[in-house]
Amino acid sequence: MPPNPAPILLLTRPEPASRRFAAGLGHLGVEVLIAPVLSIRPVAHDAGRLAAARGLVFTSVNAVPAAGPGRGRPAICVGPATAEAARAAGFDVTEGPGDAARMLPLLDGLGEGWLHPHGAHVAKVLPVPGMVVYDQLPEPLNAAAQSALAGPVPVILPLFSPRSARILSDQAAGARAPLWLAPISPAARDAWQGPAARIAPAPTPDAEGVLWAVERLLDTEQSA
């Protein structure tokens, strides 16, 4: 084994989100493993109420399919991936800055008739009536991820939410591999309950910020 083996990047978001993130990593030249610790499952909800809403607030791409055809209705979306999905569904989109906290000014003065379809677990409650349209269910790490964590090569772990950070820290307990964290926010960092050999916080709470943090971890490795 080389004295400084290249780290492995382990993506644990739901598979569609992990694949979107992985698509932008080709320039890094690292091995990427996808092992979701959460899966998205639709739940029963009032589809008629969603269809009748004057406008919708989307804080996750996972809520867009439940909303049905946009029909040109306004939608305020947390960031670019969610905005892209809402546009494809026919909504007139206002794109937010990337996280729920910073999109709050966009929600001022919306008036009646707006809804926020979301998952069963939310990081921030918004001042808009909400509706649960999907659940995020824990999943065990797959065999490839478990093997990477048991090996000697550093594993980079992007942490995209406090809940996934908690679940992943439980499943990575006892890992032999040095763990390098790229948390999307202070809340995600604080939710991590295990050891960490290196940490590079994302400068912005979005996918671009996490990518920057991953690149910083790799730059540190190359200069070591």
Q: How confident is the model at residue 179 (pLDDT cuts 50, 70, 90)?
A: very high
From 107, 134, 161, give the residue that closes a domain.
134
173 and 198 part of one domain:
yes
| Whole-number pLDDT of residue 24 | 87
Q: What is the pTM of this model?
A: 0.88
Give the tens place of pLDDT for each residue, 90-134: 999 999 988 888 899 999 989 899 999 999 998 788 999 999 999
Assign residue 163 the CATH number of its domain.
Answer: 3.40.50.10090
2 is a domain residue: no
Which residues share a beta bridge with 11? 34
Q: Which residues lie below 8 Å from residue 179, measured CB to CB, with a gap of 6+?
A: 149, 154, 155, 157, 172, 194, 195, 196, 197
Closest CA to 57 of 81, 32, 76, 29: 76
- Each residue's pLDDT tens digit, 37-92: 999 999 999 999 999 999 999 999 999 999 989 999 999 999 888 999 999 999 99
Q: Which CATH number characterizes residue 102's domain?
A: 3.40.50
